Amino acid sequence: MLSLTVVRMLPVAVALWGTHARAQTVAFIGWFGPRGLASIVFAVFVEDTQQAHSTTILTVTYLTVGLSVLVHGMSAAPLVKRYVGWYGAAERHPMMEDEPTHEHRARKGATLLLPKRQVTGS
């Protein structure tokens, strides 16, 4: 269970440090972020080098990746809906955000994983 939560989400939070992304955005990216590709590559190394207890290591790796796909797949629709609702509310009420404005990010050259607002001219 730790590999599906803390072990995945902590590195993402560290990587997003300094982006001014809200906790909801960091949690969303952490939950749906990196997948088990590296785990499978490491499992192939274990199998190719025929390490001691390789069967146990491979079984745990494949079960973890399979469980990750199942849990993250089942949670995708409700969590995306919840995040979209939160983000929409934050767009309507900018005081809910502590992220810099799009104009500020453009001046600073920073990019966040947020949709761009459409600007209509008069």
- Domain assignment present for residue 120? The answer is no
φ, ψ for residue 34, nearest 5 deg:
-50, 140
CA-closest candidate to residue 39, choices 74, 72, 71, 8? 8
Burial class (CB in 10 A: 0-12, 13-18, 19+), 25: buried
- Domain assignment present for residue 96? The answer is yes
Of 4-13, 44-53, 90-99, the poorest mean pLDDT is in: 90-99
* Helix (H) or strand (E) run with residue 45 in it: helix 37-49
φ, ψ for residue 110, nearest 5 deg:
-90, 150
- Domain assignment present for residue 47? The answer is yes
C-alpha to C-alpha distance for 72 and 53, rounded to whole angstroms? 28
**Interval 54-100: pLDDT, tens:** 889 889 888 888 888 888 889 889 999 998 888 888 777 665 444 45
pTM of the entire structure?
0.57
- Domain assignment present for residue 92? The answer is yes
- Structural domain containing residue 75: 2-108
- Domain assignment present for residue 40? The answer is yes
SS3 assignment, position 93: coil
Q: How many structural domains does the chain have?
A: 1
- Domain assignment present for residue 119? The answer is no
